[in-house]
Amino acid sequence: MSSRGGKQKKGNVTSEQEEEEQPLQAVLVADSFNRRFFPISKDQPRALLPLGNVAMIDYTLEFLTSTGVQETFVFCCWMSNKIKDHLLKSKWCRPTSPNVVHIITSDLYRSLGDVLRDVDAKNLVRNDFILVYGDVVSNIDVSQALQEHRHRRKVDKNISVMTMVFKESSPGHKSRCEEDDVIVAMDSKSKRFSMGTDEFEIRHDLLDCHISICSPQVAELFTDNFDYQTRNDFVRGILVNEEILGNQIHLYVTQDGYGARVSNLQMYDSVSSDMVRRWVYPLTPEANFTDQQGQGCTHSRHNVYRGAEVSLGHGSQMEENVLIGRDTSIGANCHISNSVIGNNCTIGDNVVLDRAHMWNNVHISSNVEIHQSVVCDGAVVKEAVRLNKQCVLAYNVVIGPNLSLPEGTVVSMHHPEEEEEDDDDEFLSDDQEVGHSKDKTRQKAFNPAEVGPEGKGYIWKASMNDTEDEELAQCLWGLVLNPDPESDSESEASEESQDRTFQLEVLGTLQRGLEENIVCDNLVLEINSLKYAYNITLKEVMQILTRVVLEYPFQQQGTQLTTLQYTGSLLPLLKTWSPVFKNYIKRAQDHLDCLSAVEELFLEQDTHQTAMVKVLMKMYQLEILEEEAILKWFSTGATNDKSRQLRKNQGLQKFIQWLKEAEDESSEEGE
Amino acid sequence: MELQAVLMAAGGGSRMMDLTYNTRKPLLPVGNKPLIWYPINLLERVGFEEVIVITTKEVQKMISTDPKMKLDVKMKLDIVCIQEDAHMGTADALRHIQQKIKTDILVVSCDLITDAALHEVVDLFRAHNATLSMLMSKAHEFTETVPGQKGKKKNGDFVGVDGTGKRLLFMANEADLDKGLVIRKSNMRKHPRMHIKTGLVDAHLYCLKKSVVDFLADNRSVSSIRGELVPYIVRKQFSKSMTSPNVNDEADQKLKKKDGNANVEIKILSRDEALLQLTRERSCWNDHRGDMSEAYHGGRLRCYVHIMDEGMCYRVNMLAAYIEANRLAPKLFDEPAVHPSAAISVRCLIGADSIIGASCQISDKASIKRSMIGASTTVREKVKVTNSIIMHGVTIEEGCNIQGSVICSNTVIGRGADIKYCLVGSAQRIEPEGEHTTAYYCLTLPSHTQVPLTSTLSGNSRVAKIQ
């Protein structure tokens, strides 16, 4: 694959032609139908955002062309005019282009489903086609996958409707999108999604490239199932109905090649750095595959790329993996690493850039430090500003001077609230008209504490959208790669959960007993059967029972109870359930265990410690606990500071004193 | 000595009671050798010189008297007897002999007949310093019709192995999976490719670390190796306390205290552990790709499995397996099919795939095909035996026709009886054929009751119909 340069597609195309008479078609969806890149995508559709100084849609089109696609339908929705303008100017719309690009725009598309339904309605595809998003960066040669797909369709009479392209990459790889963490069950031999067969494989090392080879039925199936919105809906629908409808989905797993979808800024960051590190060869920055004048740059060692007319001040260092666009000037003593800088930028002196993504026409003053952040077109960063990790400066924002933006700050010229107003429209598509609320925004002043004295822009907060499921969608950077979210040991967890479920069951039983007035004997019977069902020892049963009963008032009336209310509701309960207790508390050891359970609970509920005496008193009166046991517990049970503290409780001391005296009396009486 | 071999031969053969009613399972004849000979031979072939045999008194007596065992077995048998009625599981048995165990062990079950290359299993054990390595094989479809049995039980074990097909990651029985297959994501993260296989038989051959035996000694509740211990170890591979890399003795002790009397940890700190740890740290070798964490993700328990693709591997624990093993076992050794001491008439027909035991008498015009005839059996004139197993001391009178059946020892089959797909218990008398001519009523009982096809006759003349 690597031997095929950006412009050598002719040979591939002819071979495809021989094989299939009809030209290979592709459907490119240049809208994400979500707001992950807001507020950046308020000004520019996601497909046009620059990655390595080239719009993302150009990578997708280049990928399609190089795999032999001859006809591409680009579906645009949000800011379709901008995409259209971009494409008309690009090489794809030149008469010499091997890939004929048709642009179809509509404001009515709300999802991938709508697009494919439109494909079906307009009868655009005649044969198998490739379905991609406008933000996919890839150099995978899908012709192999295409062949397999066609072969399967020939052999099995159109049973296979889709072949999804996956790339092998182990968990923990940085190009894996944590949100797109797929686990696939597949039949290793037939490469089919399945779990039914004798032997199958569960794979967690696959990366969904969001490239799918679809049969024409896919569009029809979307029309038939009008509730399919996304490709996931489709895949799920097909797999669930596999036995009924007989449609199958296959996978194509590639080991080499690169394919990733820029679905959030985390992915943007890693794809961009992969690009600069030449993983997407032949799509490299210096290749200038978009064939635009002035885009060329030179490639020198340590992956440093320089466009035309770049000036670098004295003492400035470009360490490694740096791409600098044309006409950019950099001041003295700067330190730049792992960064992409766009065209026409000016950077002052003593600037530190690490993992920074700066787009075009950005002005950075002196003494600025930027770490892993995105700075959009026209933004101005004034003197001595520090951008910590994962900051985003959207279009034309001004920041500073003398400011440090905390981690994850998002600044935009659009006010967040105008966004919220638009939210009334329940659809998540990007196609809102923003302009109408512009005058409202003007009235709101910029907060100098947030953006600096000369700053212009509003802070966007990630938690702005408080509906739970959209929280994820709002987070620009996506979930942070967590190297090892180790959960507890399995068996321990399961044992724990068993105790827990047992506790809940006991609670339920007691609750029912109270409501339906069940005799205590029957309750004991039920608890005993639960004990066997969950394999719980007698000791644990008693401890859990004690805990459940003592927590019962909290359970029923919330945790805000005062001590008085608590004892008020608990004591009658103890009376009701005393036969249950008596059934379990028989031996001396049982008494001690019960007492330690009581102690444990009151150590947790330390605000209610005064209630403990009353509980113990009641249990003593009800003859659940014996005085010897209580005395023994009091004298010997203290093992740590807290329980010693507990024993110093005045009420408890008095109670014990009283018990002792009572004992003396009774023994005297006995004599 | 690197490995001590332990042979489990105390099982009663509860899944084929009809056969084991009179003969204990280890002594059932397979290819005219007692079943226990096969695992012993397997161990002998790979060079074991001593084996600890756990068995019952009865079997011990038989082993010491059986001429076959005396002649063929050169290795030293260290026989440990356990109470027959003590209901000891295999793990209990291991606990019983804990004192004898000085090194890692290789546990074999007495009903294993295989031509597997044992070194594959042991190599996995060595190479990965594994806690457990075991042998599995693709389940065989039993081709022969099983007498007295219709349909067969499905063996529904799910076994999960990693991409290399060696590391054992997951084990579950179909019966336990009421809510579907549950696999933890953290396991998937460590082992991104997991092959789930079904239709495998566990050969019940395990290499175990000595520490596992010590663990058994501490945990009296575990009674079976296959049923409890192996699933436990497989599960424990991913438990957190085992994976934390710097568990020193102190922490171990703490853990022990915390768990109280139930010591749930398997201490696998061996004397070389520190050195091995160091080696692994210094080495660039790793068992996985992707994330940058250390080899085995710091896990200390590792289970491996060798799955045989071809070759033969039978566990003789069911009638079907017994018959199949009898058919195939003779191929394992190259001994003359007909014992030299057998008196065989010149005018009888004996197929090449049949075995005739010592001091047999086979008379004129008898025809024996694909069958095994045990020692001291008399086969009279015009008897036809096809696809059958005749144990020792059986007398088959003239004109009998025996097909697809198992005839246990010391039975006398009356003249002209026609027996098809039957199991005849030991010391039976089958009345001579008289008025019964239909093939469906092929057996005549002493009481002249008629038993339909696919029935079982057992030692105490009990007639059981197996559906």
User: What residue of A is the nearest CA neighbor of B139?
Assistant: A198
* B289 close to A (CB below 8 A): yes
- Please report residues of B whose CB lies closer than 8 A to that of A198: 197-199
Over residues A377-385, the mean pLDDT reads 92
- Within an 8 Å CB–CB cutoff, is residue A196 touching chain B? no
Q: Check if the interface score ipTM surpasses 0.85.
A: no
| Residues A384, A364: Cα–Cα separation, whole Å | 10
Do the Cβ atoms of B236 and A183 come within 8 Å? no
Which pLDDT belongs to residue A356? 93
CB within 8 Å: B197 and A199: yes
- Best of A195, A201, A208 to substitute, by most chain B Cβ atoms within 10 angstroms, is A201
Minimum mean pLDDT among A55-59, A443-447, A519-523, A538-542: which range? A443-447
| Chain B contact present for A660, CB below 8 A | no
Instruction: Say if the Cβ atoms of A171 and B183 lie within 8 Å.
Output: no
Q: Which of A125-129, A445-449, A499-503, B402-406 has the lowest mean pLDDT?
A: A499-503
Does B185 contact chain A (CB < 8 Å)? Answer: yes
Q: What is the pLDDT of residue A192?
A: 80
State what percent of residues in chain A have pLDDT above 90.
23
Tell me if the pTM is above 0.80. Answer: no
The DSSP result for B383-405, as a single string, is -EEES-EE-TT-EE-TT-EEES-
CA angle A328, A332, A334 (to 5 degrees): 80
| Cβ pair B194:A203 closer than 8 A | yes
Q: What is the pLDDT of residue B449?
A: 36
Residue B167 in this model has a pLDDT that exceeds 50: yes
H/E element, A627? helix A627-636
| Strands, E assignment, B72-127 | 76-81, 104-109, 112-114
Q: Which residue of A has its CA nearest to B297?
A: A484
Residues A88-135: tens digit of each pLDDT: 988 888 888 888 999 999 888 888 999 999 999 999 888 899 999 989
**Residues of chain B contacting A487 with CB distance shorter than 8 Å:** 184, 186, 240
What residues in A contact B188, CB-CB < 8 Å? 171, 183, 202, 204
Q: Do B291 and A484 touch (CB under 8 A)?
A: yes
Averaged pLDDT, B376-390: 88
Long-range pairs, B45-48, Cβ under 8 A, ≥24:
B45/B118, B46/B118, B46/B119, B48/B3, B48/B5, B48/B75, B48/B106
Query: How near does any CA of chain B get to the CA of A253, in Å?
Result: 13
Q: Indicate if the pLDDT at residue A620 is higher than 90.
A: no
B19-39 pLDDT, tens digit each? 777 778 888 888 888 888 889
Name the minimum distance, in Å, from the CA of B352 to any CA of chain A: 37
Mean pLDDT for the stretch of residues B228-255: 60
At A445 the pLDDT is 77
Q: How far apart are the CA of B193 and the nearest CA of chain A, in angstroms?
A: 4
Given pLDDT bands bounded at 50, 70 and 90, which one contains residue B266?
low
Q: Which of A171, A203, A489 sits opposite B291 (nearest CB)?
A: A171
Interface of A with B in 174-193 (CB under 8 A): 183, 188
Q: How many angstroms separate the CA of residue B185 from the nearest CA in chain A?
A: 9
pLDDT, mean of residues A516-540 = 79
Residues of B in contact with A533 (CB under 8 A): none
Nearest CA in chain B to A492: B239
Closest partner residue to B195 among A199, A488, A492, by Cβ?
A199
Percentage above 70 pLDDT, chain B:
80
B195 touches chain A (CB under 8 A): yes
Interchain contact A171–B (C-beta under 8 A): yes
Write the single-letter amino acid at B251. A
Q: Mean pLDDT for chain B? A: 76
> Which amino acid is it at B244?
S
CB proximity under 8 Å: B 396-415 to A: none
How many angstroms separate the CA of residue A140 from the nearest CA in chain B? 20
- Whole-angstrom Cα distance, residue B296 to residue B166? 13
Q: Is the pLDDT of residue A140 over 60?
A: yes
pLDDT at A292: 80
Report the pLDDT value the prediction gives residue A487, as an integer from 0 to 100. 37
User: Is B46 an interface residue toward A (CB < 8 Å)?
Assistant: no
Question: What is the H or E stretch that residue A442 is in?
Answer: helix A438-443
* Model pLDDT for residues B280-336, shown as the tens digit of each residue: 788 888 777 766 777 777 777 889 999 988 888 888 888 888 888 888 877 777 777
Q: Is B272 near chain A, with CB under 8 Å?
A: no
Alpha-carbon torsion (B133, B139, B140, B142), positive or negative: positive
Task: Give yes or no for residue A348 having a pLDDT over 90.
Answer: yes
Looking at residue A638, what is its pLDDT? 66
Q: Which stretch, A138-147, A524-533, A554-563, has highest mean pLDDT?
A: A138-147
Instruction: State the count of interchain CB pairs (< 8 A) between A and B.
Output: 87
- Which segments of A308-461 are extended strands (E)? 311-312, 317-318, 322-324, 329-330, 335-337, 340-341, 346-347, 352-354, 357-358, 363-364, 369-371, 374-375, 380-381, 385-387, 392-393, 398-399, 403-405, 410-412, 458-460
Put simply, whether A204 touches B (Cβ < 8 Å) is yes
Q: If you measure CA to CA, which chain A residue comes closest to B199?
A: A198
Cβ atoms of B233 and B212 closer than 8 Å:
yes
For residue A330, the cross-strand partners are A312, A347
pLDDT band at A29 (very low <50, low <70, confident <90, very high): very high
Say if residue B249's pLDDT is above 60. no
What confidence tens digit (pLDDT) does each residue in A475-506 have?
566 544 333 333 333 334 445 566 777 788 88
* B238–A490 C-beta distance less than 8 A: yes
Residue A15 pLDDT: 46
Give B5 to chain A, closest Cα distance, Å.
Answer: 31
Strand partners, A298: A306
The DSSP annotation for A239-299 comes to HHTHHHH--EEEEEEESSS-EEE--SHHHHHHHHHHHHTTTTTTS-GGG-TT--TT--EEE
pLDDT of res. A556: 76
Q: Give A-chain residues touching B194 at CB under 8 angstroms.
A: 201-204
Interchain pair A491, B236: CB under 8 A? yes
The confidence band for A85, taking pLDDT boundaries of 50, 70 and 90, is very high
- For residue B211, what pLDDT is reported? 84
pLDDT of B437 reads: 32
Question: Among partner residues B197, B238, B290, which is closest to A173 by beta-carbon distance?
Answer: B290
The confidence band for B121, taking pLDDT boundaries of 50, 70 and 90, is very high
Contact A170 B186 (CB under 8 A): no
Of chain A residues 442-501, which have a CB less than 8 A from chain B? 483-492
Nearest residue on chain A to B180, judged by CA atoms? A195
- Predicted pLDDT at B458: 37
For residue A665, what pLDDT band results from cuts at 50, 70 and 90? low
**Chain A residues touching B264 at Cβ < 8 A:** 491
> Are B196 and A201 inside 8 Å of each other by CB?
yes
In the predicted model, is pLDDT for residue A380 greater than 90? yes
- Closest CA–CA distance from residue A598 to any residue of chain B (Å): 20
Of A198, A204, A490, the CB nearest to B188: A204
Question: What is the layout of strands, in order, in the sheet containing B384-386?
Answer: B349-350, B367-369, B384-386, B401-403, B418-420
Alpha carbon distance B263, B261 (integer Å): 6
Residues of A in contact with B159 (CB under 8 A): none
Percent of chain A whose predicted confidence (pLDDT) is above 70 = 84
Mean pLDDT of B161-177: 82
CB contact under 8 A, A484 and B293: yes
Cβ separation B195–A204 shorter than 8 A: no
User: Once rounded to an integer, what is the mean pLDDT over residues B386-391?
Assistant: 87
Stretch among A495-504, B169-178, B252-261, B337-346 having the lowest mean pLDDT: B252-261
Q: List chain A residues with CB under 8 Å of B288.
A: 170
Q: Quick one: pLDDT at residue A337?
A: 93
Q: What pLDDT does residue B265 have?
A: 55
A297-313 residue pLDDT tens? 899 999 999 998 899 99
Q: What pLDDT shows up at residue A481?
A: 39
Min Cα separation B40/chain A (Å): 33
| Averaged confidence pLDDT in chain A | 80
Query: Which pLDDT band holds residue A197 (cuts at 50, 70, 90)?
Result: low
- The DSSP annotation for A136-203 comes to EEE---THHHHHHHHHHHHHHTS-EEEEEEEEE--TT-TTS-GGG---EEEETTTTEE-S-SSEEEEE
Is the bond preceding residue B336 a cis peptide, omega within 30 degrees? no
**Considering only alpha carbons, which residue of chain A is nearest residue B184?**
A490
Q: Who wins on pLDDT, A440 or A653?
A: A653
Residues of B in contact with A490 (CB under 8 A): 184, 235, 238-239
Q: With DSSP H G I counted as helix, E B as strand and the rest as coil, what are the percentages for chain A, rounded to 5? A: 45, 20, 40
Question: Which residues in chain A are contacts of B182 at CB distance < 8 A?
Answer: none
Residues in chain A with CB shorter than 8 Å from the CB of B183 are 202
> From CA B451, how far away is CA B302, in angstroms rounded?
53
What pLDDT was estimated at residue A419?
54
CA distance A182 to chain B (A): 11
Span B121-127, mean pLDDT? Answer: 91
The average pLDDT across A35-46 equals: 84
